[in-house]
Structure 1
Amino acid sequence: MKKSKNPLVLLVTICMCVLSSFIADVNERPVAPNFTLESIDGKKVSLTDFKGKVVYIDFWATWCGPCLAEMPHSKKLKEKFVGNDSIVFMYVSVDSEENIDDWKSLVKKKGMSGVQLISRDGYEERVADRYGISFIPRFVLVDKNGKIAYLNAPAPSTPEAETLIRQLLKE
């Protein structure tokens, strides 16, 4: 077998090997804590509503600069999966009760698609505690069986996010 002298090929190969090791065997994955939160439309939405699909969860807030900086990348990532009904992009805002109008306004102003939910300060449904959210933005990947495949998933601005999603879709 001929060895590649291209360092980029070597780096990508190493990254793929490392990334694949992060996704635990399906049988070893913990069940993702379920939650039911209010959507931007005022409907109740549960994580379990999406069993059978890969769910990429983005925990964010309107006042978080790094969160907002990831949004254009998230849009591009979602565009790579247009037409694929096996992936759901879910955004859980941890804005406070007093910022709900700002949240709704920002989502509409920026044309943010996907499942838009609010967990007031992260306390509602104890989402922040149950997912160990101590900072945002924070990304979580849930597999088709409703299990946590990656509790600290890569940000949408990284190529690893797409790679991990594609691996989970193949399972």
Structure 2
Amino acid sequence: MKLISTVLKILFPITILLACVVAIFLSRSLRLQNTDQIKFISQSEKLSSIKEIVNLPPFKNKVIVVDIWSVTCSPCLQQLKTATSFKKRLSTNDVVFLYISYNNKFRVDRQLKWKETIENNKLTGYHLEADADLYTNIWSEINKEKDAGQGIPRYLIVDKNGTIINFNASGLSKPDDFYQEILQVLNNTGSLSMK
């Protein structure tokens, strides 16, 4: 009986460790694939700033609506539920949506939750899971005031030249204001085809 108890004491932690390793492997290998509607920006490009991101080829000559969020942010998840209906108000190819998410790397299920959230909310557009360095750099670039903080969700609107026009847009919590802010950027870049 003592032998069985000793074996179990040794095997139990090893089993837990193996389960964690398998979960980490699965979270990295089970990836929602790019589709015509949902595209993932690979971090293999080693992006280091918001400026580099908004100047990537898919965003050339586009107004970019940036949504900074996380799978652990309840207000973010609530607002993402309304993203699809909000986008239906836009009838232009001149606007693209970019979702930047930072998810704690110590959370074993982070990437699975991230991709599940994207799929469940049908978040068409471009998606980037930022690492800690990129996330820190983004906040230092977009916070014009020293004490502005890193509250999420945070929305930015970038014009067709890659210039951030609105560093703190209304977002999906105020859809009518947000719509007008996007419309204003489109009007100022000579591109109006909205409903």
Q: Shorter-chain TM-score: which interval?
A: 0.5 to 0.7
Worse overlay, 50-59 or 73-82: 73-82
Residue 79 in 1 paired to residue 88 in 2? yes
Answer whether contact 1:40 1:104 (CA < 8 A) is retained. Answer: no
- C-alpha deviation, 1:73, in angstroms: 2.5
Count of aligned positions: 131
**What is the CA–CA distance in structure 2 between the aligned matches of 1:129 and 1:41, rounded to whole Å?**
21
Which of residues 137, 155, 158 is equivalent to 2:171? Answer: 155
Answer whether contact 2:81 2:121 (CA < 8 A) is retained. Answer: no
**What is the CA–CA distance in structure 2 between the aligned matches of 1:155 and 1:78, rounded to whole Å?**
12
Answer whether contact 1:74 1:157 (CA < 8 A) is retained. Answer: no
Worse overlay, 42-51 or 142-151: 42-51
Partner of 2:125: 114
How high is the sequence identity, in percent, across the aligned residues?
A: 26
Partner of 1:88: 96
Answer whether contact 1:92 1:117 (CA < 8 A) is retained. Answer: yes
**What is the CA–CA distance in structure 1 between the aligned matches of 2:152 and 2:173, rounded to whole Å?**
15
**What is the CA–CA distance in structure 2 between the aligned matches of 1:79 and 1:156, rounded to whole Å?**
13
Q: Aligned runs of 1:19-168 on 2, under 5 Å?
A: 40=40, 42=42, 44=45, 46-49=53-56, 50-82=59-91, 84-97=92-105, 98=107, 99-121=110-132, 123-124=133-134, 126-132=137-143, 134-158=150-174, 159-168=176-185
Q: For structure 1, which runs of at least 5 residues remain unmatched after alignment?
A: 1-38
TM-score (norm 2): 0.60
**What is the CA–CA distance in structure 2 between the aligned matches of 1:169 and 1:78, rounded to whole Å?**
15
Answer whether contact 2:70 2:103 (CA < 8 A) is retained. Answer: yes
Q: For structure 2, which runs of at least 5 residues remain unmatched after alignment?
A: 1-38, 48-52, 144-148, 189-195
**What is the CA–CA distance in structure 1 between the aligned matches of 2:115 and 2:83, rounded to whole Å?**
18
- C-alpha deviation, 1:41, in angstroms: 6.5
- Shift of the 86–94 alpha-carbon distance from structure 1 to 2, 3 Å rule, reads same
Q: CA RMSD in A?
A: 2.1
